Amino acid sequence: MGAFKFVGVGLMTRLMLLGADGFIGAHVRARLASEPDVDVTTVTRRGDVDADVRLDLAESPVAVAHTLRDVAPDVVVNCAGSTTGEASLLAANNLVAVSNLVDALLTAGRPVRLVHLGSVAEYGRIPAGEAAREESPERPVTPYGLTKLAGTHLVRTAAAAGLDAVTLRVTTPIGPDAPVLTLAGRLVGQLRQIEAEGAGGVTTGPLDDVRDFVDIRDVADAVVAVALRPRGRAALPSVLNVGSGVATPTREMVTALLALAGFTGGLRTDGGGAHRDTALPWQHADITRAREALGWSPRHTLESSLHDLWHSALAHC
């Protein structure tokens, strides 16, 4: 996608990227590196990673406000949060953290745009054969989905109060450097181990669900499209779905990845590896609104995402 201009030509946009060390955050960071006139300040919870600032959004609202004051960004992109863990951890990083951030932005005394990363899990059980739209019922059934929806409600409320804020509800991201917390990332890890040991089989949990797999680079494109959208244009909807717009059986994705890796061994689906979406057998998002509002469309096929995932893993060997 081409470059987006947030303010006047020749003016630098200051952008604060929260969660810059995560799967989405790292790809947003890489995508922003190709944008001229954007000064990015990276923020992470951990102190042992390459970032400009260490900040735990859930730890102290005062610290969040002070960081916002010191960085003085034009745009904040929030890729921080937790996808797994105890309910208390999910609540802290997906709800308390967002509350602290929104409060700091509303009292910043200057206009700041917020791009917040949400999840399709906020819709809960999508009826099989249907695609969730932004106005679909929000009935999450997992702690992850509940805490993400609570965070989105905070952002939506802040937008109604005048904050320039948009939540992007992302489906199942896939692509280069997918972490082991994802099914595709775990599979790649198993396949690399099998290659190293010269034998073995692949074990997963049940593969009966359907997912809307979206390339992580397409997600990053959507984030940048919102973050650097010129001021003065018509306001965006407070929530936009970001996905591939294609419902793919998980077994089909697994089979394609195994074939790409040249794996001819056995596949067992009676093992562990359950993840947060097992309670959601069907996932499919309608991305019409994002296409129309942003001029954004996913550019990568599932096949190209898997190809690049596998070869990124080989490059790290």
Longest Cα–Cα distance of the chain, Å, equals 61
Least confident of 24-33, 220-229, 255-264, 271-280: 271-280
- Determine contact, residues 267/202, Cβ cutoff 8 Å: yes
Q: What pLDDT sits at residue 1?
A: 44
* Mean pLDDT value across residues 75-99: 98
Single out the catalytic residue among 6, 23, 123, 144. 144
Any catalytic annotation for residue 144?
yes
pLDDT band at 272 (very low <50, low <70, confident <90, very high): low
Each residue's pLDDT tens digit, 18-36: 999 999 999 999 999 999 9
- pTM equals 0.94
Q: What pLDDT sits at residue 278?
A: 59
Alpha-carbon span 230 to 4, nearest angstrom: 7
- Neighbour count for residue 248 (Cβ, 10 Å): 18
pLDDT band at 230 (very low <50, low <70, confident <90, very high): very high
- Determine contact, residues 88/138, Cβ cutoff 8 Å: no
Q: Residues 191-196: contacts with CB within 8 Å, 24+ apart? A: 191/258, 191/261, 191/263, 191/313, 192/313, 192/317, 194/263, 194/265
Q: What pLDDT sits at residue 262?
A: 94
pLDDT band at 6 (very low <50, low <70, confident <90, very high): very low
Tokens of 84: 């797994």
- Closest alpha carbon to 183 in 251, 120, 129: 251
